[in-house]
Structure formats: C-alpha cells, structure tokens
Amino acid sequence: MKFASPMRFAGLLLSAVTLGVSGAVHAQSWPDKTVRIIVPFGPGGGTDIQGRLLGKKFYESMGQTFVVDNRAGAAGLIGAELAVKSPPDGYTILFTTASLSVNVTLYKKSLTFDPLKDLTPVCWISSVPLVLVAHPSVPVKSVKEIIALAKKTGKLNAGSNGAGTTSYLAVEMFKQATGASVVNVPYKGGGPAITALISGEVDFEFATALAAKPHVDSGKVKAFAVTTAKPAKAYPNLPTMTSTYPDFDVDNWYAMFMPAGTPKPIVDKLHAEILKALKASDVQEFMAREGGQPVGSTPEELTAMFKREIAKYAKVIEAGHIAVQ
C-alpha cells in the first residue's frame, strides 16, 4: 500500500480546508443574484402556488429575488432534467412533487438521469392530499355513485396532472381498485387539469387540495373524498378513499432539490430558510386553509421518504402494466 508523502498529504489537507472555507464564505454571500426556482409544471397548480409563496418568503428574508420558472412537460421530467444539467452553484432550485418518484419506474427506459444521484435533497416541504372532484353536471353524489356510473356507462373521462404524476397514478389506482373503466386524460400540470374539469372537458379527477380548494368553495366543482389515510383539515366533511378501499392512500408531497455538487453550506443555508418560512404565520395559515401539511424534513429524511415512494409506486405501475407512449 502506497502512502502520500508528508508534503503531498499536507497539500491535500490544505486544499480540503481551503475548499471548505471557500464554500462557507460563498454561502455567507449567497444569494448575491437572482435564484431560479424551477417548477416542472404549468402555472396555477399546487407546485406553482407553493413555489411562489416560498420564493416570496425567501425574498423577504434574504433580500434577493427568487423567480419561479415554469417548465412543464413529461410529468415534471423536463424541468427536473433542466435542473440536473444546471451549474451546481446554488442559483438553481428544483421544486417538484411525488411525480418524481413515479417517474423513476414509469420512464425508466428513457430517463436520462438518476434522481437519487444527480440531485441533492434539501427539504421535504409539505404533504397535500388529492381530492376526488367532479364537474357539477356529472349526476353523482358520492364515491360509490361515481363508480357505479363509470361501470354502467364506460364513458367517463378522468383528468390528471400529467402521465407520471400522483394524480395520474390515483386514476390508475381507482381503476385497479374498483374495476371501473375510465379514460385517463393527462394534462401539463394541476392548473390546466382543473381548468379542463371546470370547463366540462373531463368528468372527474384527483386534484391536489391546493389547486381544487378555491373551485370547490365556489361551487365550480364538487368534491367527494380525499386520498390520504386521515381526513384533511381543509375538507372536514369529506370521507377518505381508504374508508372504502383500504389501500387507496396517496398524497402529493412537495420537496426542494438542488443539482448534485451544490456546496453543502449553500444547501444548509437554503434548508434553514425553508424551515424559517414554514414557521411563518402566513405560510401556516395558507397551508391549513388550502389543505397542506407543512413537513420541514432534513435532507436525509427526504432521501429516505423518496426511496419509499419509489418502491410504492413501482408496485402500482407493475400491477397495472402501466406504460406511457
């Protein structure tokens, strides 16, 4: 076994210390220019809404602009790939959803990056239930009536937030659990999907609580159940899907990542700012009102959760022989 000479060892040690000090200094001055938050879905959905709220809190705290860059397409993969390819200098953040854990399996043949290796986890931000909602013209008053109508007519269309999102998988789980035949119609994000439902273009969907709440309150859509195991505070009168189908437990989690190689001091600083934002009264009031549950995990907890979610959705995809074109 060969050992480095004392001089070389000292040089390596000095380089490591220098890099550490440089990273810490960089973190102290970060951000000194605009930071881009890539939201891999269109405007108006739950990811976009939360991304803009957090960007506002970061600006208030750090005095620098955090701009949301909507890059919709391929169920969030276009935006995620853009983040992966961005310089790991702290000026690109990926704010994405549980769809990323779905896509690891759904797009495994065409995926150009490894989310577990090519992204640095920062924080699991929040958990939001999906809500089974339908257009007012659909003649049903309960989950059982939706199922019965779908089985009777075989003509119901279900909107979703994209071919690799939890909204999309929830429709597939609905089909697997009930035996109902429905057409799964993917859109480019929660905003376009809920707009399609309001217009009557689709009959029902599993929308994120954040995107659905204002339209449920206004009567533009009607709600029947939430997809989390426990009732949602924002929808106290709705039953859970698990009350009818015990394995129907789906939430849409939201998390921030940065490109792999981003200096740890910057990751740590962003993590601290996220925790500060989640404790703000206006953020907590927003979450409670709209159906979100703040989480504020460590990077390690986000990694562990992400791996669990990948395994969960892989089972659904394999059981349903689900493939995307």
Express each pLDDT in 77-115 by its tens digit: 999 999 999 999 999 999 999 999 999 999 988 899 999
Contact predicate 213/234, CB 8 Å: yes
Structure token pair of residue 224: 């029947």
Q: Is there a single domain that holds both residue 151 and residue 288?
A: no
Sign of the alpha-carbon dihedral angle for 159, 161, 167, 172: positive
**pLDDT at residue 319 in the model:** 87
User: In terms of DSSP bridges, do strands 92-97 and 251-259 run parallel, antiparallel, or are they unpaired?
Assistant: antiparallel
Same domain, 123 and 134: no
Same domain, 36 and 72: yes
> Is there a domain that residue 146 lies in?
yes
Q: What is the extent of the structural domain holding 167?
A: 129-243
52 pLDDT exceeds 80? yes
Per the structure block, which two tokens stand in for 22? Answer: 């440089």
Q: What CATH number corresponds to the domain at position 311?
A: 3.40.190.150
Kindly give, in sequence order, each residue whose CB lies less than 8 Å from that of residue 64, ignoring residues fewer than 6 positions away.
31, 32, 33, 34, 35, 58
**Domain closes at, from 243, 267, 302:** 243
In this predicted structure, what is the pLDDT of residue 8? 60
φ/ψ (deg, to 5) at 146: -65, -45
Round to whole Å and give the CA distance between 287 and 25: 34
Distance of alpha carbon 122 from alpha carbon 5, whole angstroms: 38
Q: What is the mean pLDDT of residues 22-50?
A: 85
The confidence band for 7, taking pLDDT boundaries of 50, 70 and 90, is low
Q: Residue 1's pLDDT is what?
A: 45
